[in-house]
Amino acid sequence: MPAPPVELKQRDTPMSKSDLPVRRANNIRRILVAMIDGFEICPRRMHHLDSVSLALFARMAELHESICLLASKGRRRDAVILGRTLCEAAITLYWLTNDQQSDQRVNRYVKFGGQVILENIVRVEKHFGYKHLPRDKAEIELLREAKILFREHRSRWNDVAIARMAAEADTYNKDKEGKAPNIEAQYEIFYFWFSLLAHPCIEAIQNFLPRWGMPFKCSRSKLYESIPEQDVVFLSTCWLYSIALRIQTVLKLRREDELRKVWAKIKAK
């Protein structure tokens, strides 16, 4: 079952209210969570992909709830910042699960936990003079492996850029012409747009720029909302759905019909 396309709805005017209603988004999230729980998936021992996939969904479901809360309070720009993380999580799981020949990708993802410990040891010693000495055998082995694995990229878990992750052909799905699609649009359009508001660049502060010669006020000088703000609930719900859909595909749960019904709820006006 291929991942559904994310379609942008056209806006006639700024501040349009045609985004997915928060109440419906919350209901869809609850349905997806209940569905994953109802599957009663038992992660296989030493199969990190099972555990990582499920944990990532649970964390993003929690994040989705926060996005809905922010949107309901009129803090859509802040919701976009969290939505960027949900978009990145969907791309990450897509890439982690796309290698059906080995566990190399997910093992690197997991072992980054050891690299975090190594970086903490170095930085705390540098700034506070305290050196942590690991004594647990499992931790020592994890740190040894992490030191080798992340010797060239110490501050990020993947040596593959997120653009390449999204552009990789899907090994699970093919279109009607037999070609394997990718999710490059998710990165090049939505991740880019959401990142503009997640970083303190000019795009993020443009609505707050003061008028020359006028006393400054912290409230917005312009009420216009960008496309990410207008669509944050809809897009974030799509990304949470895509994570659940990927889990269904990779773990071969055979629950396509149930997920199709959820997708219909997302698309419904």
Q: pLDDT, tens digit, for every residue of 252-268?
A: 999 999 999 999 999 98
User: Would you say residue 216 lies in a domain?
Assistant: no
Could you tell me if 111 and 135 lie in one domain? yes
User: Would you say residue 196 lies in a domain?
Assistant: yes
User: Would you say residue 199 lies in a domain?
Assistant: yes
Half-sphere exposure of 109 (CA within 13 A, CB side): 19
Question: What pLDDT was estimated at residue 4?
Answer: 52
- Cβ–Cβ < 8 Å for 83, 232: yes
* 36: confidence class by pLDDT, cuts 50, 70, 90: very high
Residue 17, pLDDT > 80, answer no
User: Would you say residue 11 lies in a domain?
Assistant: no
User: Would you say residue 7 lies in a domain?
Assistant: no
Could you tell me if 267 and 187 lie in one domain? yes
Residue type, 87: C
User: Would you say residue 8 lies in a domain?
Assistant: no
Percent of the chain at pLDDT exceeding 70: 93
Mean pLDDT throughout 234-253?
96
- Considering only residues 85 and 268, tell me which one the structure prediction assigns the higher pLDDT: 85
Question: What pLDDT was estimated at residue 223?
Answer: 83
Q: Report the run of H or E that residue 35 belongs to, with start and end.
A: helix 22-38
Could you tell me if 201 and 269 lie in one domain? yes
Predicted confidence (pLDDT) per residue in 128-176, tens digit: 999 999 999 999 999 999 999 999 889 999 999 999 999 999 999 988 8
Residue type, 164: R
- Cβ–Cβ < 8 Å for 192, 199: no
User: Would you say residue 9 lies in a domain?
Assistant: no
| Per-position DSSP letters for 50-114, written without gaps between them | HHHHHHHHHHHHHHHHHHHHHHHTT-HHHHHHHHHHHHHHHHHHHHHTT--S-SHHHHHHHHHHH
* 196: confidence class by pLDDT, cuts 50, 70, 90: very high
Could you tell me if 23 and 93 lie in one domain? yes
Question: What pLDDT was estimated at residue 104?
Answer: 95
Could you tell me if 229 and 178 lie in one domain? yes
Residue 123, pLDDT > 90, answer yes
Question: What pLDDT was estimated at residue 176?
Answer: 81
Half-sphere exposure of 248 (CA within 13 A, CB side): 24
Residue 243, pLDDT > 50, answer yes
Question: What pLDDT was estimated at residue 222?
Answer: 79
- Cβ–Cβ < 8 Å for 205, 222: no
Could you tell me if 182 and 83 lie in one domain? yes
Closest by Cα among 89, 37, 50 to 252: 50
Could you tell me if 92 and 55 lie in one domain? yes
Say which residue the tokens 């964390």 belong to.
59
Query: What is the tally of structural domains in the chain?
Result: 2
Say how many residues make up the chain. Answer: 269
Q: Taking all residues of the chain, what is their mean pLDDT, rounded to a whole number?
A: 91
Could you tell me if 134 and 184 lie in one domain? no
* 16: confidence class by pLDDT, cuts 50, 70, 90: very low
Could you tell me if 93 and 156 lie in one domain? no
Could you tell me if 82 and 117 lie in one domain? no
Sort 259 into a burial class: Cβ within 10 Å, 0-12 / 13-18 / 19+: buried
Could you tell me if 138 and 197 lie in one domain? no
Q: How far is CA 71 from CA 6, 22, 86, 151, 237, in A?
A: 20, 7, 15, 41, 13
Could you tell me if 69 and 119 lie in one domain? no
Start-to-end C-alpha separation, the chain: 23
pTM: 0.90
* 184: confidence class by pLDDT, cuts 50, 70, 90: very high
**Domain boundaries, position 252:** 19-98+168-208+225-269
